[in-house]
Amino acid sequence: MNNTMIFYLMGGSAGAFVLILIAYVMLSKKMQKSEYKKIQELQQGTKENKFSAEILFQKLYLTYIKIPFIKRYVLKVRRRLEIVNIDDEYNTRKGTAKILTKALAIIIPLLLVTIWMTASNYLLMFILLIFELFMIDVFIDGSVDKIDDKILKEQIDFFSEIRHAYHEYNMVEEAVYQVSQDDERNVSAQGEKIYEILISEDPETELEKYYDIAPNSFLKEFAGVSYLTKEFGDRKVDGASLYLKNVNNITQEMQLEILKRDKLNYVFQSLSVISIAPVLLLEPLKNWAVHNFSFTASWYQGKPGMIVQILILILTFASYILVRKLKDNGSTGINTKNTENPWQAKLYKKPMIKKIVDLFIPKVGSKEYRKVQQYLKDSASSLKMEWLYINRITMAIVTCIVSIFLFGQLHRIAVNYIYSEPTTDYDLIGGLSEKDEKKAMEVTKEDNKILDQFRGKLKAQTKEIERAVRRLKYYEDAEDSEIDKAVERIEGKLQVINSEYLQWFEVLLAFVFSIIAYMSPIWLLIFQVKMRQLEMEDEVMQFQTIILMLMRIERVNVEIILEWLERYSNIFKAPITRCVNNYEAGAWEALEAMKEEVSYTQFIRIIESMQAAVEKIPIRDAFDELDSERDYYQEKRKESNDRLIKRKGMIGKAIGFAPMVCMFVGYLIVPLVFIGLTSMSSSFSSMTAAK
C-alpha cells in the first residue's frame, strides 16, 4: 500500500512538472510576441549599475542634512545652487552633496595633518583648527563661483544660438524656447524660465521676481530686453534688428567680464595659498631651526617665540580675509548669508542684550550714525546697523577674553620652560651630547626641588636657598664654589618664575586689543568701500551699455532708464535709488540732487544727459555719442579693466606676501642672528674673564 502511494505521488509530481514546463513555454512565446518584450528592452537602458554616483550623492545629501554642523554648509550651498538649478531639486541636491564631499575630502586630511604636526603645541593646534574651519567657507564659495563662471561662459553660445533662432522665427519667445531645449547646459534652465515669463499673463510682475534670483546681471539684461522687444516690438537700426544689436551688446559685456574674471583668477590663484602658508609652516620651521641650531631652543620654546607665533597667526588671518575681499569685490555672485534671521537678529531680540547694544549704537540722525550708515551702503553690506554693532561688541568681548587667556598661557609657557630646560654651563653655540643632556636634566630636576619650595615666596633670602641646596643629596660632596654657583642659578630661575603672573599692563593691553577688535568691522567696511571705488569706472561703462540698449526702444523714457540703472548698479545704487523715489516729485530736481551727491565725472555726464532728455531733446539725441563712440568706449573699458586688475594685483601681492615675509624675517632670520650674536658675545666675555 505504501509503495503504491509513493508511485502515485511520483507520477503526479512528474505530470505536474510537465504541465508547468508546457505552460512556461507557451507563456514565453506569447510574451515574446506581446509588448512585454519591448518593455524589457526599454528597461535595459535605464537600469543603474550596482554603483551609481548619482544615487550616492543623493544619499550623501540626506546624510549631510542630518548632521548639525554640516547642515549649515548644506543650506549655504543650496541657496546658491537653487538659483542656478531653477526648480530642479534633484540637481540641486546632487551639486550640494558633490561640493561638500570635495570640501570634506580636502579638509579632513588637512585637519589630521595639523593635529599630527602640532601635537605638542595645543594652543597652535587650536588656532589652526579654527582657521581651517574658516577655510571651508572659502572653498565652498570658490566651488560655487566656478559654477557661476561656467554659466557665464555657456551664455556666450546661448546668445549666439538666440541670434540664429530669432532670424528663423522672428519671435523673441519662440527663439528663447527653441534654444532652451538643450538640457546639457545649465543656462538652458534660465532660458526656460525667461520663456515662461514672456508668455505669462503678467510678464512684468514675473520679470521683477526673476530679477531677484537671476545668477548674473547679464541674464537680467537679456530678460529685460526680450520683454521690452516683445512688448513694444522690434525695429531696424542701420539696417539691422535692434533686438539682435542689444543681444550683441550684452554678449560683448559678458566677454569683457569673462576676461576680467579669468585675469583676476590668474592673479589671485596663488595669493590665497601664499597668505595662508605661514600658519602651516610655523611648526616645521621651528623644529628645523631647533634641530640645526640648538642655541635657538630657548627662544622658540619660550615666551618670545610664542608671541611671534601669535602675531604671525593674526597677520595671516587678516591678510587672508583682505585678499579674499579684494578678489571677490564687485563679483556678481549672490549673497547666500541668511539675511532674514541670522544669529545677530536672534541675539538682538533678547531684551537685556538689546538694551546693551542700543547703548553703543549712535543716535539716529547723528553725524556718527549717518557715517556708519554710509559705510554700510557704499560697501554693499547686507548687515543692519544693529547687527554691525552686535558684531563689534562680540569681537571686543571675545578678543579681551582671548587676550587675557593668551597672556596666562605665555606665563605658563615661560614657567614650564624653566622647569624643563636642561641646565648647563656650556657654550650656547654648541650642542649637547646625549650624556651631557642627561646630566643637565639631572641638575634641572634638583633645581626644581628648590624652586617648588620657594615658588611664590618673594622675600626668600639667599641664605635660605643656600641651606636648602646643601640639604640636597646631589650636593653632599660639592665644594662651596659649586654651591654658590647653584644658588645664583636658582635665584635667577626663581626670579623669573615669581615674575610670571598676570600684570596690570597686560590687562590694559587686553582692553587695547578689544578696542582694535571693536573697530575692525568698521575698518573692514572702509577697506571694502576703497576697493569698490576702484570699480567705479567699470560700473559707469556698464551704465553706458544699458543706456545704449534702451535709448532706441520705443516708449523708453528717463524714468525707465533710471529703473534699469538702479537694478544693475552696485557702487552708485544708493543715489540712484533716491533719485527714482523722488522722480515723481520733480524729474529735473531729482536728477540734480543725484548729481550733487556723486563726485565721479563720467557718471555726472550721464546725469546731465538725462536732464537734457527730460526737458529739451529726445533720449536718442541726448546719448547719441554713446552709439557713435561705441568702439572707443569698448577699448577704454578693456584698458580700464587691465588697470584695475593690475592695481588689485599689486595690493593683493603686498597683503598676501606680508605673512610669509614676516615669518621668515621675524621667526627665522632675526632669532638666528640676534641669539647667535648674543651667544657669541657671552662666550667671548666668559673667555676674557677666564684669562
Using one digit for the tens of pLDDT, what is the confidence trace for 223-259? Answer: 888 888 888 888 887 777 888 888 888 888 888 888 8
Q: H or E element: which one contains 55?
A: helix 53-64
Q: What's the residue count for the chain?
A: 691
Instruction: Write down which residue in 492, 520, 548 finishes a domain.
Output: 520
Amino acid at 399: T
Alpha helices in 293-342 (DSSP H): 297-300, 303-328
d(CA 63, CA 33): 46
Rounded to the nearest 10°, the torsion over CA 482, 486, 492, 493 is 150
Residue 233 region, left (φ>0) first, then alpha (ψ -120 to 50), else beta?
Answer: left
Amino acid at 553: I
Indicate the angle between helix axes 271-292 and 89-117, nearest 10 degrees: 20
Residue 595 lies in a domain: no
| Model pLDDT, residue 39 | 46
Residue 102 lies in a domain: yes
Indicate the angle between helix axes 385-420 and 480-499, nearest 10 degrees: 170
> Is the confidence at residue 307, as pLDDT, over 80?
yes
Residue 45 lies in a domain: no
- Tens of pLDDT, residue by residue over 71-81, are 878 887 887 77
Q: How far apart are the first and last CA of the chain?
A: 129
* Rg of the chain (C-alpha set): 37
Q: H or E element: which one contains 639?
A: helix 630-664
Scan for cell 600684570, then name that residue: 503
Q: Tell me the whole-structure pTM to 2 decimals.
A: 0.68
The domain in which residue 172 lies consists of 53-232
Grid coordinates in use for 487?
A: 644658588
Instruction: Write down which residue in 232, 265, 287 finishes a domain.
Output: 232
Q: How far is CA 496 from its chain centroid?
A: 44
Alpha helices in 534-628 (DSSP H): 536-550, 558-568, 573-582, 587-597, 601-615, 619-622, 624-628
Question: Mean pLDDT in the chain?
Answer: 78
Note whether 226 and 172 are within 8 A (CB): yes
Phi, psi of 237 (to 5 degrees): -130, 115
The beta-carbon contacts of 197-206 under 8 Å, at least 24 apart in sequence, are 197/223, 197/227, 198/172, 198/173, 198/226, 198/227, 198/230, 199/173, 203/227, 203/230, 203/231
Residue 403 lies in a domain: yes
- Tens of pLDDT, residue by residue over 325-341, are 777 644 434 444 444 56
| Model pLDDT, residue 21 | 61
% of the chain at pLDDT higher than 70: 84
Note whether 166 and 241 are within 8 A (CB): yes
Residue 10 lies in a domain: no
34-48, 266-280, 305-319, 456-470: least confidently modelled range: 34-48
Average of pLDDT values for 459-478?
76
DSSP 8-state class, residue 78? H
> Is the confidence at residue 30, as pLDDT, over 60?
no
In order of 168, 182, 195, 212, 393, the CA distances from 176 in angstroms are 12, 11, 6, 20, 52
The more confidently predicted of residues 533 and 77 is: 77
| Model pLDDT, residue 87 | 66
Indicate the angle between helix axes 367-378 and 385-420, nearest 10 degrees: 80
Residue 22 lies in a domain: no
The more confidently predicted of residues 454 and 390 is: 390
d(CA 520, CA 139): 24
Number of domains in the chain: 2
Instruction: Write down which residue in 479, 500, 520 finishes a domain.
Output: 520
| Model pLDDT, residue 334 | 42
- Tens of pLDDT, residue by residue over 615-637, are 778 887 888 777 666 677 777 77
| Model pLDDT, residue 518 | 92
Contacts for 83 with CB less than 8 Å, ≥ 6 apart: 213, 214, 215, 334
In degrees, rounded to 5, the angle at the alpha carbon of residue 388 between the alpha carbons of residues 384 and 394 is 145
* Helix-then-strand count for the chain, H and E: 31, 2
3-state DSSP percent of the chain in helix, strand and coil, to 5 = 80, 0, 20
Contacts for 476 with CB less than 8 Å, ≥ 6 apart: none
| Model pLDDT, residue 393 | 92
| Model pLDDT, residue 515 | 93
> Is the confidence at residue 273, as pLDDT, over 80?
no
- Tens of pLDDT, residue by residue over 407-441, are 888 888 888 877 777 776 554 444 556 676 677 77
The more confidently predicted of residues 648 and 87 is: 648
Residue 291 lies in a domain: no
Note whether 363 and 370 are within 8 A (CB): no
d(CA 380, CA 532): 9
Grid coordinates in use for 369?
A: 550714525
Nearest to 344 by CA among 385, 300, 299: 385
In degrees, rounded to 5, the angle at the alpha carbon of residue 128 between the alpha carbons of residues 122 and 131 is 145
Instruction: Report the 10 Å Cβ neighbour count for 174.
Output: 16
d(CA 614, CA 440): 91
d(CA 325, CA 319): 10
| Model pLDDT, residue 338 | 47
Average of pLDDT values for 502-529?
88
Residue 194 lies in a domain: yes
> Is the confidence at residue 687, as pLDDT, over 80?
no
Q: H or E element: which one contains 237?
A: strand 236-237
Secondary structure (3-state) at 353: helix
